[in-house]
Amino acid sequence: MKSNRILIMAVLLLTGFTAKAQYQNGDRIGEFYFGFNAVAPLGEFNKEAAPIEKGYPFLPLDADHIGSSAKWGIGLSFKYSFKFNIVEDKASAGPFVGIDLTWNSLDKKVNKAFNDLKCDKPHYINIPLMIGANGRYYFNDVLGVSAEFGIGLDMLYITPQGWSDKKEKYGVDFSMAWQIGAGIYLGQHVNIGLHYYSFGLHNTTEDDAKKYTKSISALMFKLGFCW
């Protein structure tokens, strides 16, 4: 698929650009970040859907409700930030490139309907690829603050729902996305942050005759480590 090729090229460019640019005259000019995320769905992503409990061959979640009724999820973040000093040992800023991976399942009510009918439930996987700018300011050697803004492309993958002989598949969809966040640095290596992600408007079905579009967004609580 063309969309898959775009994602692969973007990831390769991200990796290659970071590897090439991270050193200047033998000294690193930035830092790597790796973090764990708690993902709270917002808006239509969090909108409650009423499951159908009729059983086979009727699926618990109608196609127009796919992309909603998400519950809290988990995620991972990877980022490389280029650091340019504004005030030596106090303030710095620069561009960054980053990629996140988030996973959300269904809320308790809808999840129970799938379990009762013994069929596979859909899971929501978002992979936003971002470029942007961030900065930080240190009050002392122990405490600092940070802020960032990014824009890029989000990939939404919804896993199939249904029974082995009756599967509804939704495939992959791409949309423009952005995020804004702020955090606290504890020393030089630990960051605790709160970030808002707009994953954009996603088509949640592959049926050209009947497309359903959802506005997917989330609030992410991040615990990250820098080096």
Per the DSSP assignment, residues forming a β-bridge with 95 are 133
Q: Kindly give, in sequence order, each residue whose CB lies less than 8 Å from that of residue 122, ignoring residues fewer than 6 positions away.
A: 61, 66, 106, 158, 159, 160, 161, 170
pLDDT in tens, 74-115: 999 999 999 898 888 899 999 999 999 999 999 999 999 999
Q: Which residue has the tokens 């090729």?
A: 5
Least confident range of 55-69, 106-120, 156-170:
55-69
Q: Which residue has the tokens 């980022």?
A: 79
CB 188 within 8 A of CB 208: no
pLDDT in tens, 9-47: 555 555 555 555 555 444 567 899 999 999 999 999 999
Whether 171 shows a pLDDT value over 90: the answer reads no
pLDDT for 170 equals 86
pLDDT above 90 as % of the chain: 63
The average confidence (pLDDT) of the chain is: 87
Q: Show the 3-state SS of the chain.
A: CHHHHHHHHHHHHHHHHHHHHCEECCEECEEEEEEEEEEEEEEHHHCCCCCCCCCCCCCCCCHHHCCCCECCEEEEEEEEEECEEEECCCEEEEEEEEEEEEEECECHHHHHHHHHHCCECCCEEEEEEEEEEEEEEECCCCEEEEEEEEEEEEEEEECCEEECCEEECCCEEEEEEEEEEEEEEECCCEEEEEEEEEEEEEECCCCCCCCCEEEEEEEEEEEEEEC
pLDDT above 70 as % of the chain: 85
Which of the four pLDDT bands, split at 50, 70 and 90, describes residue 207? low
Determine how many CB atoms are found less than 10 A away from the CB of residue 225: 12
Whether 195 shows a pLDDT value over 80: the answer reads yes
Q: Spelled out in words, what is the top-level CATH class assigned to the domain 2-226? A: mainly beta
Long-range own/partner contacts, residues 14-22 (CB < 8 A, 24 or more apart): 14/97, 14/99, 14/129, 17/97, 18/80, 18/97, 21/82, 22/80
How is the chain split into domains, by residue range? Answer: 2-226
Least confident range of 60-64, 172-176, 206-210, 220-224:
206-210
